[in-house]
Amino acid sequence: MAGVAAAHLAFLATDISIAEAQATGWLFKPEPAVALAPSWNFDELSRFPWSALFSLAGAIIALMFVTVMSVLLNVTGIELETRCEADLERELNAVGAANLLSASLGGYVHL
Of all helices (H) and strands (E), which one includes residue 98? helix 88-104
Confidence of residue 107 (pLDDT cuts 50, 70, 90): confident
Prediction pTM value = 0.53
pLDDT at position 110 over 80:
no
CA gap 1, 67 in Å, rounded: 42
pLDDT at position 106 over 90:
no
C-beta contacts of 7-11 below 8 A and 24+ residues apart? none
By the 8 A CB rule, do 109 and 102 touch?
Answer: yes
pLDDT tens-digit series, residues 32-68: 888 887 777 788 888 888 888 899 999 989 988 998 9
Domain ranges for the chain, please list them.
Answer: 1-30, 49-111
pLDDT tens-digit series, residues 72-91: 999 999 999 999 999 999 99
CA gap 12, 19 in Å, rounded: 12
Predicted pLDDT of residue 57: 92
